[in-house]
Amino acid sequence: MAYDVATAKDLAREALAAENGYRLPMLNARIAVFSGNYNYVRDGANQALNRLVAHLERRGAKVLVFSPVTDSPAFAHAGTLSPTPSVPFPRRAEYRFPLGLPRKSREILEKFNPDLLHVSSPDLLCMAAIKFAHAKGKPVVASVHTRFETYLDYYGIGFLTGLLKWHMRRFYSGCAQVYAPSPSMAQELESSGIVSSPRIWSRGVNADLFSPAHRSDDWRAQQGFRPDDVVIAFASRLVLEKGLAQFTRVLDQLRKQGLPFRTLILGEGPERGNLEAALPDALFTGHISGPDLGRAYASADLFLFPSLTETFGNVTLEAMAAGLVPVCANATGASSLIESGTTGFLCDPASDQDFVDRLAFLIRNPVRRAEMARLGRRASLDYSWDVVLDRLIWQYLELIPHAARDSI
């Protein structure tokens, strides 16, 4: 199966064109969702799952989520959450490693009697969910949120990549449908032999929250940004696998050219201290959300994101919606969102200079920068959360057609 950017755009436009008189999928079904991190650390994966759960309930389904929990969740979760046992990850204690589906959780699952199970990561909890589904004759589907196989090099255990890929192939082969978040990620999964014939469950953006309309000159001034400063933003969890080392190298080279730019870091994470030391003049907002996040995005000008580990690129889409020009690694996620040279730039991940040249061009050419920002904003409007999530429900209904209810 071939996937490309044009295909993704055609699907999005087709869905959006159908919104007038759109037939909403309604579900008379019980859906069990399994996640290694549903609410204790905020990230793109659990934001998508929480949106899905809330949407399923709006469409009439009953949903029960199984996930590790902590005493201090990062946000109020959607739906009903059933805690499962876990231990901290080595070297990344903010994350939990699920220990499977113990007897108590299994009894809760059996009583819930799901029509369909949805797993979201190749861990022990989701492996147990697949085993349960097979034993009960229930369909099980999987969504891919994280490129786990790309993480290992960042932590000095790249020699385990082959073993992890073998495990992922075995894990996803037990699922009736596997959803990739972008055409580029689907192509990567298929070409690497990890998933055969993956489907697409895209991601959406809140185009009201992330909008150029929220740009604030007052906010910029309060942060110490001059009117002529070009603000380069980064937004994500501050972790090694987001390309932080390359990010700092690129900015250092730009600085040596004497270009007028400032740096804005949106997010929090264990690498913040190291990043602050490397970028002493940058503005770090820490974790912000809602209108504050939308305003901060819109008050920047460029978005630099060299991460190679994205499956979709939620932050890239948010940046485009907010009117920033993205300069990203030519890798999964961004390559499905950006039309290089038109709505942003896709750079050679192996070349710091490629990133530097693209950023320098945009800093020096404000008219071209404004035009690319306008086109990027327009392209981002192809992604509507309701349509994206309804498309997933229609795929569910291929497996549980008895659960269809009259549309509204």
Q: Please state, for a pLDDT cut of 70, what percent of the chain lies above it.
A: 91
| 55 lies in the same domain as 195 | yes
CA distance 333 to 344: 13
Specify the range with the lowest mean pLDDT, choosing from 8-17, 182-191, 365-374: 8-17
| 137 lies in the same domain as 224 | no
| 362 lies in the same domain as 238 | yes
Number of domains making up the chain: 2
Residue of 131 and 93 predicted with greater confidence: 131
Q: 208-222 burial string, b = 16+ CB within 10 Å, else e?
A: ebbbeebbeeeebee
| 166 lies in the same domain as 253 | no
| 104 lies in the same domain as 248 | no
For residue 88, what are the contacts with CB-CB under 8 A and spacing of at least 6? 94, 95, 96, 97
| 317 lies in the same domain as 218 | yes
Strand partners for 235: 266
pTM here is 0.76
pLDDT for residue 154: 65
CA distance 157 to 96: 19
| 374 lies in the same domain as 277 | yes
In SS3 terms, the chain reads as: CCCCHHHHHHHHHHHHHCCCCCCCCEECCEEEEECCCCCCCCCHHHHHHHHHHHHHHHCCCEEEEEECCCCCCCCCCCCEEEECCEEEECCEEEEEEECCCCHHHHHHHHHHCCCEEEECCCCHHHHHHHHHHHHHCCCEEEECCCCHHHHHHHHCCHHHHHHHHHHHHHHHCCCCEEEECCHHHHHHHHHCCCCCCCEECCCCCCCCCCCHHHCCHHHHHHCCCCCCCEEEEEECCCCHHHCHHHHHHHHHHHHHCCCCEEEEEEECCCCHHHHHHHCCCCEEEECCCHHHHHHHHHCCCEEEECCCCCCCCHHHHHHHHCCCEEEEECCCCHHHHCCECCCEEEECCCCHHHHHHHHHHHHHCHHHHHHHHHHHHHHHCCCCHHHHHHHHHHHHHHHCHHHEECCC
| 216 lies in the same domain as 85 | no
pLDDT for residue 146: 75
pLDDT band, very low/low/confident/very high, at 365 (cuts 50, 70, 90): very high
> What is the CATH classification number for the domain harbouring 170?
3.40.50.2000
Cα 33 to its chain centre, rounded Å, is 18
- Tell me: the pLDDT tens digits for 28-41? 999 999 999 999 99
**What's the whole-number mean pLDDT along residues 94-99?**
90
| 397 lies in the same domain as 376 | no
**What's the whole-number mean pLDDT along residues 348-354?**
98
CA distance 276 to 297: 19
| 107 lies in the same domain as 64 | yes
| 179 lies in the same domain as 114 | yes
Average pLDDT, the chain: 91
CA 274-280-281 angle, 5° bins: 140
pLDDT for residue 155: 62
pLDDT for residue 349: 96
Q: Please state, for a pLDDT cut of 90, what percent of the chain lies above it.
A: 78
pLDDT for residue 28: 95
**What's the whole-number mean pLDDT along residues 384-389?**
89
Q: 112: domain range?
A: 5-204+384-405
Among 163, 168, 112, residue whose Cα is nearest residue 142: 168
- Tell me: the pLDDT tens digits for 141-194? 999 987 666 655 666 767 777 788 889 999 999 999 999 998 988 998 999 899
Contact 89, 96 (CB under 8 A): yes
pLDDT for residue 6: 40
CA distance 358 to 274: 26
| 162 lies in the same domain as 301 | no
